[in-house]
């Protein structure tokens, strides 16, 4: 009996047109074994998991032969309680119930499930662009049409740099009869600025009540802009708003993939119904629960990263750079046609960054030594 491999290396099965046309998701560059490099390409938290989180993972390792709780019941209850406490700390009476929380394998998966829940073929999803790289992919897979709206640019009337900011007026103007969803990424990945409270409220007032607004707050814990909106208060006031958050960034669980959506119970039930069964592993659920219990300790780490971000931004300003307001755990350089060359130069210097060809480079705020290494690279770009 022959054991030769089949001669044909293709299936002969045609792919969906939407799948054939999908733009590839480009992950941040990875370090090579043995290489002395700093990885600032993926917006990861440079701190390892807390000992209490690692202990929770170890305790659960012996149960990996069992399916996890499909609906992550304990975790959704803990998230709801944490969000309610967050609202109370800001003087708000917002109460979040577990049936408003849907978890998934990172906020990117929950984003896809939300779109699959509400979008029909022919619907449109209006998105600021450049923004999160997964948006056009998730929109296409849902069967909807991706409608990009350019970011703001240039100075405003007061001379403030608008580069990298969402143009909410343009987003509202792009909403038409076929619009089903509009995304608001704040702070915007990869450019960095957060939207402001007043402009967001004006935008929401202009959005029809049957158009879903995705308020993507993947980096909300890093925001220090006093004009930034309170996402929970916005959610409470607008039934058509869905909030997306993640444990990947501030909580340092990128490798375990846990994110969630906050939505009204009817919509949350729909999203839950299309989610991958048993998608969030038991280890991920345990780690997220342990992280919520250690939230104060983790947010101290976030504050340390915010301080380090301010140092990096200050050093870049001293070098002569004028970059968009950095409210995430990263900074953005709009380098245009020089992007790929500068990215290669950073790699050669031992620093991995995230180039977006023809547009710019995003650099994660990492440990002090890594940031110093990048600052040397940035200085070399000025020469």
Give the residue-averaged pLDDT of 84-105.
94
Residue 383 has a pLDDT of 84
Q: Average the pLDDT over each of 31-35, 212-216, 348-352, 369-373 and give the range with the smallest value.
A: 31-35
Highest mean predicted confidence (pLDDT) among 9-13, 63-67, 188-192 = 188-192
- Cβ-based neighbours of 345, under 8 Å, separated by 6 or more: 377, 380, 381
Mean pLDDT of 232-247: 97
Out of 3.30.1330.120, 3.10.50.40, 2.40.50.140, 3.40.640.10, the CATH code matching 52-293 is 3.40.640.10
164 in Cβ contact with 151 (< 8 Å): yes
User: Before 247, cis peptide (omega within 30)?
Assistant: no
CA distance linking residue 205 with residue 201, whole number of Å: 6
Contact criterion met (CB below 8 Å) for 153 and 324: no
26-43+296-382: CATH topology = 3.90.1150
Task: Return the domain boundaries, the chain.
Answer: 26-43+296-382, 52-293
Per the prediction, the chain carries an average pLDDT of 93
| Predicted confidence (pLDDT) at residue 198 exceeds the cutoff of 60 | yes
Q: What is the largest CA-CA distance in the chain?
A: 79
pLDDT number for residue 153? 87
> Nearest CA to 75 among 247, 252, 218, 271?
247
User: Does pLDDT of 40 surpass 70?
Assistant: yes
Given a cut of 70, whether residue 6 has pLDDT beyond it is no
pTM of the model: 0.91
């Amino acid at each position: 009996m022959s054991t030769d491999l089949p001669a044909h290396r293709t299936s002969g099965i045609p792919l969906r047109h939407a799948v054939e046309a999908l733009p590839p998701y480009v992950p941040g560059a990875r370090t090579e074994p043995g290489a002395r490099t700093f990885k600032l390409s993926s917006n990861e938290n440079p701190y390892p998991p807390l000992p209490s989180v690692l202990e929770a993972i170890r305790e659960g390792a012996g149960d990996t032969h069992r399916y996890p709780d499909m609906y992550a019941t304990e975790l959704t209850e803990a998230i709801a309680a944490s969000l309610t406490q967050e609202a109370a700390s800001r003087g708000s009476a917002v109460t979040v119930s577990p049936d408003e929380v849907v978890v998934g394998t990172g906020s990117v998966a929950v984003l896809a499930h939300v779109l699959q829940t509400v979008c029909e073929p022919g619907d449109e999803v209006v998105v600021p662009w450049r923004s999160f790289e997964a948006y056009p992919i998730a929109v296409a897979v849902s069967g909807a049409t991706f409608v990009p709206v350019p970011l703001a640019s240039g100075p405003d009337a007061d001379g403030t740099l608008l580069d990298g900011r969402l143009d909410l007026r343009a987003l509202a103007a792009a909403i038409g009869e076929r619009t089903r969803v509009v995304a608001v990424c704040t702070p915007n990945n990869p450019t960095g600025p957060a939207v402001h409270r007043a402009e967001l409220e004006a935008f929401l007032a202009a959005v029809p009540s049957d158009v879903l607004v995705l308020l993507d707050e993947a980096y909300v814990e890093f925001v220090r802009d006093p004009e930034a909106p309170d996402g929970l208060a916005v959610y409470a006031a607008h039934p058509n708003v869905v909030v997306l958050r993640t444990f990947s960034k501030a909580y340092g669980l990128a490798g375990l993939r846990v994110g969630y959506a906050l939505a009204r119970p009817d919509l949350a039930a729909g999203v839950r119904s299309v989610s991958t069964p048993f998608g969030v592993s038991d280890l991920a659920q345990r780690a997220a629960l342990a992280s919520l219990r250690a939230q104060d300790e983790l947010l101290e780490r976030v504050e340390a990263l915010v301080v380090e971000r301010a140092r990096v931004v200050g050093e870049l300003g001293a070098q002569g750079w004028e970059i968009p307001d950095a409210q995430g755990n990263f900074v953005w350089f709009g380098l245009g046609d020089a992007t790929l060359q500068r990215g290669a130069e950073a790699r050669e210097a031992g620093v991995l960054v995230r180039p977006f060809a023809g547009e710019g480079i995003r650099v994660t705020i990492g440990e002090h030594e890594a940031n110093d290494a990048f600052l040397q690279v940035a200085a070399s770009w000025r020469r």
